Amino acid sequence: MGSLTENVSVARLSADSICLNRGNASVDGSPLVPPIAQSTTFQRTGVGSDPQHQYSRVSNPSVTTLEQTLGALEDAPPAVCFGTGLAAETALFLSILRAGDHVVCGRGVYGGTTRLLQQLLSDLDISTTFVDSTNLEEIRSSIRPNTELLFIETPANPTLALTDIQACARIASDHGVILAVDNTFLTPILQRPLDHGADISVYSTTKFIDGHSVALGGSLVSKHTQLLERVRFIRKCTGAIQSPFNGWLTTNGVKTLPLRIRAQSASAEQIAQRLSEISGISRVFHPSLAEGNAAAIANRQHLDGHGAVVSFEIEGGYEAACTFVESLRLCTLVEHVGSVETLITHPASMTHADVPPAQRESAGITDGLLRLSVGLEPTHELLNDIEHALALASQSPCPQTEEAVHA
């Protein structure tokens, strides 16, 4: 059976066809959905034989299928898939960084990335400077002779600020630094970081790529084959590969990724627009509402939409936010994005609860800020739900005290 990437290089397929795994040459009688290779080990026909798969900590057919698809989506060799997004990031850091090295990292990255750099890699004598990655001068001036990696996430989490990948790639290459972009929120359907000069795209496939909240996973995509080899070696050494079942589930989830993310993104855009018009909301963040330079970045970097995540701040602070989320019927309160269901997060008490209040406020994460990951419910029903909850929030604050929830 021909591999997806081999076929793609002959005739470039659309992302929709790649996701449906249509690049694979058909073999008479083969199943439409490849079976899960739920095996830890693989037979050899004789001493010295060298089959493609030998032991599932190193590689597994169900994970390889997903890797081919995720690589092909960015015109790259097969991706390297991991048990979680953070396992992928850990392998990336271990493959590039040594004791004494320095990282420049955007402040708007996922909190787990910050924790990994600040609380774990710091013990290995790897230091990090956190910067406002929308400020190119701040990035440039933070690079030191021992800086090896620039790590950014765009749109940022949860404020959705946009970073110019091309400009970061120029700074990185001027200083011999590797640029990695966490593209979890947009996926390769809406943004392809490698096209803008990034060296590596980083994904938590647990989010939109799986899309159904059933499979943990992470992946690294790059055109640098030596880096991919090194990352595979780290994965083998640390045992961080994705399980065959999760690889199989994710391959099935990916089939509808283009349809899902385009529809969710279009719905998010309508919701963001409506939220910016109604009273009771003080600020709305979505790249579709960007102005000036941010709008130029959005138009240049984003493909078929600006993403399904919308953040907004409701008037009345913590108590109003609390009543609001508890009054919603269609949107579910969780620490997660990217599912087919609409999800809501209160960053101040959930994802960013460990961050001291003053630091949270300065990062724009106020007590009234909410993050919505728009799903596939009809947009008008979501808007009805939101407006109904907003009316209740403006009338009756939540009885819980802030101390009770933060404890």
Q: Are strands 200-204 and 218-222 parallel, antiparallel or unpaired?
A: antiparallel
**Residue 180: CB minimum distance to ligand PLP, A:** 11
Nearest-CB residue for ligand PLP? 85
**Residue 231: CB minimum distance to ligand PLP, A:** 16
**Residue 139: CB minimum distance to ligand PLP, A:** 19
The answer to whether 184 contacts ligand PLP (rule: CB under 6 A) is yes
Site string for ligand PLP, 27-66 (x = CB under 6 A): ----------------------------------------
User: Both tokens of residue 327?
Assistant: 């009054």
Name the CA dihedral angle for 111, 115, 116, 119, rounded to a multiple of 10 degrees. 170
Q: Name which of 24 and 351 has its Cβ closer to ligand PLP.
A: 351
Q: Name which of 206 and 243 has its Cβ closer to ligand PLP.
A: 206
The answer to whether 375 contacts ligand PLP (rule: CB under 6 A) is no
Q: Name which of 84 and 128 has its Cβ closer to ligand PLP.
A: 84
Q: Name the segment binding ligand PLP (CB under 6 A); options: 30-38, 80-88, 277-285, 352-360.
A: 80-88
- What Cα–Cα distance (Å) separates residue 198 from each residue in 47, 150, 169, 176, 231? 43, 10, 6, 13, 17
- What Cα–Cα distance (Å) separates residue 315 from each residue in 272, 318, 370, 397? 16, 9, 11, 11
Calpha distance 48→52 (Å, rounded): 13
Q: Name which of 8 and 216 has its Cβ closer to ligand PLP.
A: 216
If you write DSSP's letter for every residue of 277-296 in order, what string do you get? TSTTEEEEE-GGG--HHHHH
Q: With contact defined as beta carbons under 8 Å apart, do 99 and 124 qualify?
A: yes
**Residue 182: CB minimum distance to ligand PLP, A:** 5
Size of the site for ligand PLP (CB under 6 A): 14
Give, for 153, the enclosing helix (H) or strand (E).
strand 147-153
Q: Name which of 218 and 368 has its Cβ closer to ligand PLP.
A: 218
Strand, coil or helix: 246? helix
Calpha distance 72→39 (Å, rounded): 26
Q: Name which of 153 and 367 has its Cβ closer to ligand PLP.
A: 153
Place of tokens 């919603």: 328
Q: Name which of 207 and 232 has its Cβ closer to ligand PLP.
A: 207
Among 56, 60, 134, 204, binds ligand PLP (CB under 6 A): 204
**Residue 152: CB minimum distance to ligand PLP, A:** 11
Calpha distance 346→330 (Å, rounded): 16
Among 93, 110, 312, 318, binds ligand PLP (CB under 6 A): 110
Place of tokens 């790897």: 126
The answer to whether 365 contacts ligand PLP (rule: CB under 6 A) is no
If you write DSSP's letter for every residue of 283-352 in order, what string do you get? EEE-GGG--HHHHHHHHHH-SS-S-SEEEEEETTHHHHHHHHHHH-SSSEE-S----SS-EEE-TTTTTT
- What Cα–Cα distance (Å) separates residue 307 from each residue in 159, 166, 342? 13, 19, 13
Among 78, 158, 188, 218, binds ligand PLP (CB under 6 A): 218
Q: Name the segment binding ligand PLP (CB under 6 A); options: 70-78, 119-127, 201-209, 262-270.
A: 201-209
Helix, strand, coil tally for the chain in percent (to 5): 40, 15, 45
The answer to whether 206 contacts ligand PLP (rule: CB under 6 A) is yes
Angle at which helix 61-72 crosses helix 244-254, to 10 degrees, equals 40
Among 17, 22, 58, 112, binds ligand PLP (CB under 6 A): 112
Q: Name which of 20 and 350 has its Cβ closer to ligand PLP.
A: 350
The answer to whether 265 contacts ligand PLP (rule: CB under 6 A) is no
Footprint (CB under 6 A) of ligand PLP, residues 83-102: 84-86
User: Both tokens of residue 154?
Assistant: 């765009």
Among 64, 90, 157, 246, binds ligand PLP (CB under 6 A): 157
Q: Which residues bind ligand PLP (CB under 6 A)?
A: 84-86, 110, 112, 153, 157, 182, 184, 204, 206-207, 216, 218
